[in-house]
Structure 1
Amino acid sequence: MLSRGDLTDDEWAVLEPLLPLSNNRCGRWRDHQQVINGIIHRLGTSCQWRELPERFGPWQTVHKRHLLWSADGTWERLLQHVQAEADGVGGIDWDINIDSTSVRAHQHAAGARKDPPPAQPLTPKGATPGDSPESAAVPGGGGPAGEALGRSRGGLTTKLHLAADGQCRPLSLLVTPGQRADCTQFEPVLDKIRVPRTGPGRPRRRPDSVSADRAYSNGVIRSYLRRRGIRHVIPEKSDSQAARLRKGSRGGRPPVFDAGRYKQRNTVERAVNKLKQFRAVATRYDKRGYVYLGTVTAAALLIWLRS
């Protein structure tokens, strides 16, 4: 079972050089290690912020630091750094797998105010957050769906989409409302993979191969993967197979299916299990979609540090 304890000395040595020393608005930051340990405690126990033990300092400090780092992309940058260090020594299995999981949202996760928070991450080419594929996970991202909170038969839910490497570690994460179809988020999840190089060169974004279940079986996704030259194993749906056979020779050849490679798809399901060992991930308590994404990213960071 994944440890939920405080940062070890080795883990802190990895993160310490990457964290800012001071805040332009308020002077010097409070001890980062103490604050991060408080965030880890909340990840594992899902307690209310005001119920944090006193050894982590003022709960308002821990809470606000998590909000800020979720909004300005600090958690994502830390995750990418750890991924880059692993890739630099050949520690990433680039035969990746993609899937999603539904997360039940607590009733207190609803009712977020409509006004956007003060800090917003930058979007490419000057686009507004609502225009980007990740609009369901950023501040102010497109109205009600901007909080990545939807309704299904089970009530309020959020869907977590992720790509995992061959060692059950998340490479990219995305949150959407719970009723969002899996296939609509395939390209955004794959495009969000960005592992920087430890030396010169562009970040790595293309995996060796991709595997996914039948929910991702459609012509749009297969064409996208062929354009990028990515080998893929996605089983064909029965209705698609029947339609192809009805067309005869005009239906084309069936997609190649490697049963041995498809068996490796369980790595993404095991990555989901690792994430949901953190109670604050397994049940959503955060009102803001970008804050919940920050919570999940912080949990993924711990998985990488402790793998």
Structure 2
Amino acid sequence: MRRGEQLPWIVSDELWARIEPLLPVVPRRPDHPGRKRLADRKVLSGILFVLHTGIPWESLPQELGFGSGMTCWRRLRDWNDAGVWQRLHESLVADLHAVGALDWSRAVIDGSHVRAMKGGPKTGPSQVDRARAGSKHHLITEAHGIPLAVLLTGGNRNDVTQFVPLIEAVPPVRGRRGRPRRRPDTLYADRGYDHDKYRKQVRAVGITPVIARRGTEHGSGLGVHRWVVEQSFALLHWFRRLRIRWEIRDDIHDAFLSLACSIICWRRLRNLPLR
């Protein structure tokens, strides 16, 4: 880390200003006051510390002031149940759309396998890891690699089965006059999505599918456009907690996925040149 650079798990004032209004208010009961609730901002820093480092919850350093691992886990769960991470992601994508940073001329879709060490819902025998338990991250990005939606499935699910669900998972993106945008003009995918049934379904919602054909030689030229989703997976799995699935509960891993997508969008928005 460069000298003077802020630690990635420290919540900046600008990011906190985006997140704080989305958090549910928990009133303190005067008849059962108990111990004072730890500040949400500190707990969020603890959640980000686990997301970035991959450290087990029970090993969260107490001296950093983030609270216990169980406190951070509960807040992550509760905030996910309240839809905080999804709304955060949608608001950041809308802001990127408002400044013209999204390219809707094409989108790219792909899946990536991760090992699931403890099993749980949305896991299955991996087809690429000797049938060990695993999960898949399915991602759709716009032309610059900005994540629009991400889904979690078992490691035995074929990528093509998530073709249409990923398209449907893209929320209405506001930020400009007129109707919210949801659909790209074209959608790029590799040979794993080569199926005429799904091509018809994609065309039915007004999107032109551009998919490599099985049995043809490599060098179709689609890689010129598809590399952005690989880059986005690299950014997503830069968060150590997402390289291996340690959570038995799928909603907790989903929460980490959504939060990581939001952080990626936040960094892209923050690094845009001043207009």
Unaligned runs of 5+ in 2: 2-6, 269-275
In structure 1, distance between residues paired with 2:267 and 2:243: 19
Is 2:82 the counterpart of 1:72?
A: yes
Superposed counterparts of 1:27-106, under 5 Å: 30-54=38-62, 55-94=65-104, 95-106=106-117
Among 121, 124, 144, the residue aligned to 1:150: 124
Shift of 1:20: 2.4
Shift of 1:92: 1.2
In structure 2, distance between residues paired with 1:24 and 1:205: 40
8 Å Cα contact 2:107-2:142 kept in structure 1: yes
In structure 1, distance between residues paired with 2:206 and 2:90: 24
TM-score normalised over the length of structure 2 = 0.83
Shift of 1:169: 2.3
CA RMSD, Structure 1 to Structure 2 (Å): 2.6
8 Å Cα contact 2:185-2:206 kept in structure 1: no
Superposed counterparts of 1:1-307, under 5 Å: 4-22=8-26, 30-54=38-62, 55-94=65-104, 95-106=106-117, 109-110=118-119, 147-152=121-126, 153-198=130-175, 202-238=179-215, 262-307=223-268
Structure of higher RCO (CA pairs closer than 8 Å, 6+ residues apart): 1
- Report the CA distance shift for 1:164/1:29 in structure 2 as closer, same or farther (over 3 A): farther
**1:112-161 superposed Cα distances (whole Å, 9 cap, x missing partner):** 5xxxxxxxxxxxxxxxxxxxxxxxxxxxxxxxxxx111112151100111
The alignment-based identity, stated in percent, is: 34
Unaligned runs of 5+ in 1: 113-146, 242-257
- The structure whose residues are more often helix, as a share, is 1
Shift of 1:5: 3.1
- Report the CA distance shift for 1:293/1:72 in structure 2 as closer, same or farther (over 3 A): same
Letter in 2 for 1:148: K
**1:80-129 superposed Cα distances (whole Å, 9 cap, x missing partner):** 111111112211122210000000112xx23x5xxxxxxxxxxxxxxxxx
In structure 1, distance between residues paired with 2:132 and 2:201: 34
In structure 2, distance between residues paired with 1:23 and 1:98: 42
Shift of 1:264: 1.1
Matched residue pairs, number? 252
Secondary structure of the residue aligned to 1:159 is: strand
